Structure 1
């Protein structure tokens, strides 16, 4: 059970009262507004009344009608807000405040004024009935440690700025993440669901980390769809299996990420922003900054000003992507409909993933081709290596029939094989002289418990992970307590 302070911090003000106050502010005080503004504010008032209707319908067990009432209220609100900007004397911020609250209601926060801990034996029967009327999928998406995810996303300046980035410069990456995720969802989402974590959070992290590219590797050595560093991955069971780095496995990466987030949420008393900052910037550093004050805001200058620019951008970007996962239509964003049902094929003739991509072409409307999806679903395979006949491959179910019609017989597999076996002439060149590299004197360092190679190099300040790894003949940047490392001496 959360502490009383935490429960108070996470509890929204009663939304019905909040909406009434907002519309009252819109129509009273400061002189009488023009008639045209009053018309718009009347529509604002009507949108707020849509909440009352939706609440009553939810209590009556009519979840579908309740959802429709909220949709109608949002549509009316958006239309009025669009005219507000061109109407002298109209305050757009009032519309945004109601819009923000209605979106949170749409997530199922019908009883946000109640203490979330009281929705049990002592809760009013109509409240329990209303909550039960919500679709199970909706509840599983929005719950986080007993709180609605949308309650934990503050719609402040940094999150709004990140929303703009996702809807403009990062838009193609967001849509690509959505497409990639839909085909891997059956592997990744169950891992988060088992940990009682919201799917929107998983999507937000992946959007910012890799865009749903399973084989992504960063310059710092983070790898996989959720970008685990090697040492951190080992802590959560990601290791090498028969030469395959399981950080690249979507299911195992999602399991490890859920375990990591669960650990950090416990360490930071369910402060989601601090947990995300730890994921990006290092949990040790965050714990030192926060100390015992886990109620401190991520945006408190004592914390925010000490963070790297990357982490200051990362946290609101993840939250903004999660918010858009929940509310795409409300931001004029339309994710494509994807049939991500899993399937498999048994190769009737030898083929590589590259050859299959050529055979499949743009089947089922995939204009960019199926290479990325085939790689994501078969992460252990070298995409250029031919797999023998009889091999089983994971594919979207919709491709099973396409494979049988295009890639078993006919011209396409012949063309794909011919292109795949093409030989590129090798031009003999004289070996270039080895690059001159100034040899620096070395110092000795004894690895301490909790050290990582990245952290040691950062403290050193004059080298990089690759140099230190090569200097000490390290495999996978792995170190252990008590090991003696040779480090370049900084001058």
Structure 2
């Protein structure tokens, strides 16, 4: 687009314009100048939208560039219109675009550029590049880079490199939901990433044995204090990435306000309990987390947690320094309206894994935390996705062999593979036909008839079912041929999450349990 504008502009400059202007000519020139300024403003606004992962941004930027092209074309025809003046807008945007592309080149980054985060691969991020870099350097000064952090970096780069990269990929899909919450709170993005990587690897449905839940792993009570919990529909908003990030930012700022803006002590409170962190801080006279008599008052889990979070945040900011290449993720958000009933499992199969090593199930689950992977979603349901997922859905999931195969695989029932047969008997030829045996052809051996079996009384239908680990309500409904809505209602389980726990007793009223 820029090149076409440049070509038109060069022709216009070469053609020249007459100098004498009438009032009408000047009015037309002023109108063209205003149109060019409006187009520039529209383009810059579009860049901000794209930077915030707004799917309307790309279309707006294309429209703005087309407006500029039209203005220059009209300027060529307008007596007295200065094409070089109009071209100055294009030059400014061309420079902005070139600067952004230079920032995005990981391979051409200088060795000394230790803040060449892969996030700068998104061209629209150039609009906020200076502020982001300032924030990054501020984070460097807010934490201590010491041997404990170095040991954490070593662990992330060796046996934990896979989880770190997976955390980054998962975060990219949720970044437009989570990062603005930290940005508004004045907290570094690297801190958000570090906590999320250590807590959940970016899996929104992660739940610990202690009961912490969601991408930021809030305990129920703490989550309630910061606005998380049942939203009235049965969904626990601790699993919502936007809400969890907002609560996490509020929690950290509250802790840092008590603990002299110390990230280390705030992280110790996040993991080891805010009451303990405050008592240790006050008892030590406000000394650093790394002082022995402070450090040793925290449990070993917290002593490990704090440097590991800082190490993950450090690698987020300094990947090139450590030879770490984060994958580029096409995560522009877009709504996906289902053309037919489906589930996240079914979508995962028909979408394939083009461009993603492990496919799109994690992305779909993270963007739609209210739905279980096996939950059936009716036609017309709109779910959160990306522009790439929407394109793959329209290509592979609405019709055709792969769509049918995905549906068949999801609906397959392992119980149907079991073949049940009755007793086998051998019947003589003459017995079977009623005819005499042919001479020289002996009859087939005949087994004596089995005594008739006494019919056992049918076992009574089970009235309830004990939930086993790994079972879901939908799977149980399918096993006992229950209506999922009736089963949920009888057991006071709220849709659409259908949350159940191992050991829970479910009433099977109305199910075909025999």
TM-score range, shorter chain: 0.5 to 0.7
Q: Residues of 2 paired with 1:267 and 1:404: CA distance?
A: 52
**Do residues 345 (structure 1) and 350 (structure 2) align?**
no
**Do residues 253 (structure 1) and 254 (structure 2) align?**
no
**Do residues 167 (structure 1) and 151 (structure 2) align?**
no
Report the counterpart of residue 132 of structure 2 in structure 1: 140
Q: Residues of 2 paired with 1:142 and 1:318: CA distance?
A: 20
Q: Residues of 1 paired with 2:370 and 2:277: CA distance?
A: 34
Q: 1:233 to 1:141 in 2, by over 3 A?
A: farther
1:423, distance to aligned residue in structure 2 (A): 1.6
Report the counterpart of residue 23 of structure 2 in structure 1: none
Report the counterpart of residue 380 of structure 1 in structure 2: 370
Q: Residues of 2 paired with 1:297 and 1:184: CA distance?
A: 33
Would the aligned equivalents of 1:216 and 1:224 in 2 still touch at CA under 8 Å?
A: yes
SS of residue matched to 1:188: helix
Q: Residues of 1 paired with 2:142 and 2:272: CA distance?
A: 20
1:422, distance to aligned residue in structure 2 (A): 1.5
1:137, distance to aligned residue in structure 2 (A): 3.2
Q: Residues of 2 paired with 1:63 and 1:181: CA distance?
A: 26
Correspondence 1:3-402 to 2 at 5 A: 75=111, 103=114, 136-140=128-132, 142-143=134-135, 148-241=138-231, 242-291=233-282, 293=284, 295-363=286-354, 365-402=355-392
Q: 1:142 to 1:216 in 2, by over 3 A?
A: farther
Q: 1:74 to 1:369 in 2, by over 3 A?
A: closer
1:67, distance to aligned residue in structure 2 (A): 8.3
1:141, distance to aligned residue in structure 2 (A): 5.8
Report the counterpart of residue 413 of structure 1 in structure 2: 403
1:424, distance to aligned residue in structure 2 (A): 2.7
Q: How many residues align?
A: 315
Would the aligned equivalents of 2:284 and 2:294 in 1 still touch at CA under 8 Å?
A: no
SS of residue matched to 2:383: strand
SS of residue matched to 1:244: coil
1:395, distance to aligned residue in structure 2 (A): 0.7
Where does structure 2 lack aligned partners over 5 or more consecutive residues? 1-97, 118-125, 419-458, 467-502, 504-514
Would the aligned equivalents of 1:141 and 1:198 in 2 still touch at CA under 8 Å?
A: no
Would the aligned equivalents of 1:343 and 1:394 in 2 still touch at CA under 8 Å?
A: yes
1:213, distance to aligned residue in structure 2 (A): 0.3
1:73, distance to aligned residue in structure 2 (A): 10
Would the aligned equivalents of 2:114 and 2:320 in 1 still touch at CA under 8 Å?
A: no
1:140, distance to aligned residue in structure 2 (A): 3.2
SS of residue matched to 1:237: coil
Q: Residues of 2 paired with 1:417 and 1:205: CA distance?
A: 38
SS of residue matched to 1:322: helix
Q: Which structure has the bigger radius of gyration?
A: 2
Q: Residues of 1 paired with 2:364 and 2:285: CA distance?
A: 43
Normalization by structure 2: what TM-score? 0.57
Q: 1:389 to 1:74 in 2, by over 3 A?
A: closer
